[in-house]
Amino acid sequence: MALNFNSGFEFLKNNLAQIPGFKSDKKYIIFESDDWGSLRVGTKDALSKFKKKGLRTDDPYIQYDTIATENDLSNLFEILSAFKDLNGNNPIITANMNIANPDFEKIRNSQFTKYYYECFTKTIEKLGDRGNPIRLWKEGIQKRLIKPQFHGREHLNIGFWLNALKAHHNETLYAFDCNSYGLITNTPFSKKKHYLAAFDFFSFSEIVQQSQVLTDGINLFYEIFGFYPTSFIAPQYIWHLEHEKKLKELGIKYIQGHRKQIVPLDNNLNYKKKFHYSGQRNIYNQFYLSRNCYFEPNLSEKDWVDSCLNDIKTAFNWRKPAIIGTHRVNFVTKLNSSKIKMNLKNLKYLLNQIKLRWPDVNFVSTDDLGSIMDRSCR
Helix-helix angle 337-357:304-317, to 10 degrees:
30
Least Cα distance to 18 among 222, 290, 326 occurs for 290
In sequence order, which residues have a C-beta less than 8 Å from that of residue 128 and are 6 or more positions away? none
Can you tell me the distance from the alpha carbon of 350 to that of 77, in angstroms, rounded to the nearest whole number? 15
Maximum Cα interatomic distance, the chain, rounded to a whole number of Å: 66
CA 132 to chain centre: 22
Query: What does the pLDDT read at residue 337?
Result: 82
- Label the pairing between strands 254-257 and 231-232: parallel
Query: What does the pLDDT read at residue 338?
Result: 83
* 75: helix, strand or coil: helix
Least Cα distance to 327 among 302, 293, 296 occurs for 296
In sequence order, which residues have a C-beta less than 8 Å from that of residue 214 and are 6 or more positions away? 152, 153, 243, 246, 247, 250
Query: What does the pLDDT read at residue 6?
Result: 54
Query: What does the pLDDT read at residue 281?
Result: 97
Least Cα distance to 224 among 119, 349, 145 occurs for 119
- Condensed to tens digits (0 to 9), the pLDDT of residues 285-333 reads 999 999 999 999 999 999 999 999 999 999 999 999 999 999 999 999 9
User: Amino acid identity, residue 254?
Assistant: Y
Query: What does each C-alpha distance from 216 to 58, 110, 226, 287, 309 come to in angstroms?
Result: 33, 21, 15, 23, 39
Query: What does the pLDDT read at residue 3?
Result: 47
What is the pTM for the complete model shown? Answer: 0.95
Query: What does the pLDDT read at residue 28?
Result: 98
- Condensed to tens digits (0 to 9), the pLDDT of residues 6-41 reads 556 666 666 767 777 799 999 999 999 999 999 999
Can you tell me the distance from the alpha carbon of 27 to that of 320, in angstroms, rounded to the nearest whole number? 8
Helices (H), 26-169: 44-53, 60-64, 70-81, 104-109, 120-127, 133-142, 158-166
Can you tell me the distance from the alpha carbon of 278 to that of 273, in angstroms, rounded to the nearest whole number? 17
Least Cα distance to 353 among 33, 73, 76, 29 occurs for 29
User: Amino acid identity, residue 120?
Assistant: F
Query: What does each C-alpha distance from 355 to 247, 342, 359, 361 come to in angstroms?
Result: 36, 20, 5, 7
Can you tell me the distance from the alpha carbon of 114 to that of 162, in angstroms, rounded to the nearest whole number? 8
Q: How many CB atoms lie within 10 A of CB 226?
A: 9
Residues in the chain predicted with pLDDT less than 70, given as ranges, are: 1-14, 16, 378
Least Cα distance to 152 among 36, 64, 55, 70 occurs for 36
Query: What does the pLDDT read at residue 13?
Result: 65
Query: What does the pLDDT read at residue 20?
Result: 75
Three-state SS for 123-134 is: HHHHHCCCCCHH
Query: What does the pLDDT read at residue 1?
Result: 44
Measured over the CA atoms of residue 35, residue 14, residue 28 and residue 234, the dihedral's sign is negative
